[in-house]
C-alpha cells in the first residue's frame, strides 16, 4: 500500500507540474523538491523504515509512527503546496468551485489550528485504550491505520496552510492565545502513558526480538516519552502558520487603509473617536 501511494502521488504531482508549465505557470523547483524529498521521503522513511517495520512489535515504534504520520509528514508534504498546484491545473470554473469548497464551513473548521490540536489530542487518547493493542498487532488494521492517519493529517494541514488570509485579526488573536493552551492539551496523553504503571493496551506478552528490546512496561514508558516530545514539537509549525496568517491579514488591512481617500479616512477616525467617547461616557 505504501509503494502504491508513493508512486501514485509522485506521478500525479509530476503531471500537475507538466500541466502548469504548459499553461505558462512553471512550478517552482523548490516546491517540487520539498514535496518529493521532504514530503514523500519522510513518508517512505516512516512506513518503510524501522518504525513501520517494527510498529506491530514495539509500542514506541507504533506510537511514533502514528504521531509522525498525523503531525509531521502531512506538514512536510504540504510544503510542496499540492493544493496550489491543483488550482493552477484547473480551469477557472473548476478553480472557483474548489475555492468555494475551501471557503465553506467544513474547511473553515478543519483549517482552524484549535481544531487540529484538539483532534490530535483525541487521536492520541486511543493509545490509552485496549484499541491501541488491537490496531498495533493486527497486520491488516496496522497497514490501514497508517493510510487513514496520513489522510487525516493532510485534511487538517493542507486547508490550514491554504487559508492563511481568511480570518479576522480578532479571531486570529484568540486562536493564537488558545494555541498556547493547547500546547498542554495534546501533551496529556503522552504524559499519562509515561506515568502509568499498568499496560494500558492489554498486550502484556513480550514479543521475541533483539536483546535490547524493552519489556512491555518500559516499552509503554518510551512510547509516552516519544508521544509527549512529538506532540510538543509539532505545535511549533502550527504557531508559525498562525504568525503567517496574522502577518498576511495585517498586510491586507494596511493595504485597505492605504486605498482610502482623505475624506474616508477622516470619517473613519471620527467614527472611532465617537465610539471612544461613548465608551468613556
Q: Is the pLDDT of residue 254 over 90?
A: no
Lowest-confidence segment of 29-38, 47-56, 64-73, 224-233 by average pLDDT: 224-233
- 108-120, pLDDT tens digit by residue? 777 666 677 778 8
**Quick check: 16 and 86 in contact, CB under 8 A?**
yes
Tell me the pTM: 0.77
Q: Is the pLDDT of residue 169 over 80?
A: no
What phi and psi values does residue 165 have, to the nearest 5 degrees? -135, 25
- 205-245, pLDDT tens digit by residue? 766 666 677 888 899 999 999 988 888 787 666 666 666 66
Q: Determine the Cα–Cα distance for residues 48 and 1; give it in Å rounded to an integer.
A: 11
Nearest to 49 by CA among 20, 27, 69: 69
3-state SS, 51-93, equals HHHHCCCCHHHHHHHHHHHHHHHHHHHHCCCHHHHHHHHCCHH
Average pLDDT of the chain? 79
**Quick check: 246 and 96 in contact, CB under 8 A?**
no
H or E, element range at 115: helix 113-124
Q: Is the pLDDT of residue 166 over 50?
A: no
Amino acid at each position: 500500500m505504501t509503494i502504491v501511494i508513493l508512486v501514485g502521488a509522485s506521478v500525479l504531482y509530476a503531471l500537475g507540474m507538466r500541466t502548469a508549465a504548459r499553461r505558462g505557470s512553471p512550478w517552482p523547483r523548490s516546491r517540487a523538491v520539498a514535496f518529493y524529498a521532504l514530503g514523500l521521503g519522510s513518508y517512505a522513511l516512516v512506513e518503510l523504515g524501522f518504525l513501520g517495520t517494527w510498529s506491530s512489535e514495539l509500542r514506541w515504534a507504533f506510537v511514533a509512527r502514528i504521531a509522525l504520520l498525523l503531525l509531521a509528514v502531512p506538514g512536510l508534504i504540504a510544503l510542496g503546496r499540492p493544493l496550489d498546484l491543483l488550482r493552477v491545473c484547473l480551469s477557472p470554473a473548476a478553480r472557483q468551485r474548489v475555492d468555494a469548497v475551501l471557503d465553506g464551513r467544513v474547511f473553515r473548521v478543519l483549517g482552524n489550528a484549535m481544531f487540529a490540536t484538539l483532534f490530535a489530542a483525541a487521536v492520541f487518547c486511543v493509545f490509552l485504550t485496549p484499541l491501541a493493542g488491537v490496531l498495533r498487532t493486527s497486520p491488516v488494521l496496522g497497514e490501514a491505520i497508517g493510510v487513514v492517519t496520513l489522510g487525516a493529517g493532510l485534511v487538517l494541514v493542507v486547508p490550514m496552510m491554504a487559508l492563511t488570509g481568511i480570518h479576522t485579526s480578532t479571531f486570529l488573536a484568540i486562536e493564537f492565545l488558545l494555541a498556547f493552551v493547547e500546547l498542554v492539551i495534546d501533551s496529556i496523553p503522552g504524559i499519562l502513558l509515561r506515568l502509568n504503571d499498568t499496560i494500558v493496551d492489554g498486550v502484556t506478552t513480550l514479543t521475541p526480538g533483539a536483546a535490547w528490546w524493552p519489556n512491555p512496561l518500559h516499552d509503554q514508558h518510551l512510547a509516552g516519552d516519544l508521544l509527549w516530545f512529538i506532540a510538543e514539537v509539532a505545535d511549533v509549525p502550527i504557531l508559525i502558520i498562525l504568525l503567517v496568517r496574522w502577518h498576511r491579514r495585517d498586510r491586507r488591512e494596511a493595504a485597505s487603509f492605504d486605498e482610502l481617500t482623505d475624506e474616508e479616512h477622516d470619517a473613519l477616525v471620527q467614527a472611532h473617536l465617537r465610539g471612544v467617547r461613548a465608551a468613556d461616557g
